């Protein structure tokens, strides 16, 4: 199964009673396992949690820690990029050259690299002291 297909399947489980805007994500870890996530809304946080964050949480819960590639799918006119918070999370668990496929349910897609999504990402080396 492709990452887009895994993300599309998981997208159907999104919980979006307020926006109706379902997003699915799939990550292939460097170990080769696929982890998925979808967005979840609630009354206290109606914009919800993001699909990418859910997929990363699933990856960590399964014992994997590095992303080899990822995909995100939504029902939109154009491929939708990850939000700022998810960009930082992707940068934490993926090298800058890791490819992220952004797709729509209508079949449009484009590929971006993590480093292009978040240039100048905050990284562990920023916390070192002289």
41 assigned ligand-binding residue: yes
40 is in an annotated binding site: yes
The answer to whether 43 is a known ligand-binding residue is yes
Pairwise CA distance, residues 78 & 124, whole Å:
33
Question: Which of 31, 47, 52, 99 does the annotation list as catalytic?
Answer: 52
CB-CB contact of 3 with 103 (8 Å): no
User: Is residue 38 a known part of a binding site?
Assistant: no
Please check if 39 is assigned to a binding site: yes
CA distance 80 to 98: 17
Tell me: is residue 42 an annotated ligand-binding position: yes
| Residue 8 marked in a binding site | no
Nearest in space to 80 (alpha carbons), one of 46, 39, 121, 40: 39
CB 57 within 8 A of CB 51: no
74 is in an annotated binding site: no
- Examine the residue annotation and report whether 78 is marked as an active-site residue of this protein: no
Return binding residues: 39-45, 50, 83, 86
Catalytic positions, please? 52
Return binding residues for Zn(2+): 50, 83, 86
Return binding residues for substrate: 39-45
């Amino acid at each position: 199964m492709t990452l887009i297909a895994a993300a599309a399947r998981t997208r159907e489980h999104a919980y979006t009673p307020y926006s109706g805007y379902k997003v699915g994500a799939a990550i292939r870890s460097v170990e080769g396992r696929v982890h998925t996530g979808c967005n979840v809304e609630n009354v206290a946080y109606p914009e919800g949690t993001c699909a990418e964050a859910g997929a990363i949480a699933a990856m960590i819960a399964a014992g994997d820690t590095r992303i080899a590639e990822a995909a995100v799918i939504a029902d939109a006119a154009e491929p939708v990029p990850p939000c700022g918070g998810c960009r930082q999370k992707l940068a934490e668990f993926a090298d800058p050259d890791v490819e992220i496929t952004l797709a729509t349910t209508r079949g449009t897609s484009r590929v971006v690299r993590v480093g292009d999504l978040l240039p100048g990402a905050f990284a562990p080396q920023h916390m070192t002291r002289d």
